[in-house]
Amino acid sequence: MKKVLTYGTFDLLHYGHINILRRAKELGDYLIVGLSTDEFNALKHKEAYHSYENRKLILEAIRYVDKVIPENDWDQKIKDVQENDIDIFVMGDDWEGKFDFLKDYCEVIYLPRTVGISTTKIKHDLFSVKK
């Protein structure tokens, strides 16, 4: 069985998230998602609308996702790859090169982002003042 791992906050879920999860799952048989905890998001100065538990519940309902694990810090990725016997690590291409250190442990693939959508864009569109 080929196992795939990706990470993210997955807040305000949108079709770009679904696209990366689908494409990640297509690379293997079993997809694990490392989901940023609320505490880790606070360290990154990133605020999620939904709590970790609610984001986990949403991800677990998506047919492409087989398992959700907590992402507690930047440094856990090697351990996660080893402990979960990961074959392929996947991230969006906005992270290109940032996780190449994992190539000693598994294949690393950066997938193109879905054009025209992001959580940042949704927040901007929802909260910008229309004149």
Q: How far apart are CA 55 and CA 70, in angstroms?
A: 11
Cβ pair 55, 20 in contact under 8 A: no
Residues of the chain above pLDDT 90, percent: 80
Residue-wise pLDDT tens digits, 78-90: 999 999 999 999 9
Distance spanning both ends of the chain, measured CA to CA: 54
Residue carrying structure tokens 């293997």: 28
Q: How far apart are CA 2 and CA 12, in angstroms?
A: 29
Residue-wise pLDDT tens digits, 22-71: 999 999 999 999 999 999 999 999 989 999 999 999 999 999 999 999 99
Q: What is the per-residue pLDDT for 127?
A: 75
Q: What is the per-residue pLDDT for 129?
A: 54
* Catalytic site residue from 2, 3, 25, 44: 44
* Catalytic site residue from 46, 79, 98, 121: 46
Q: Is a pLDDT exceeding 90 seen at residue 119?
A: no
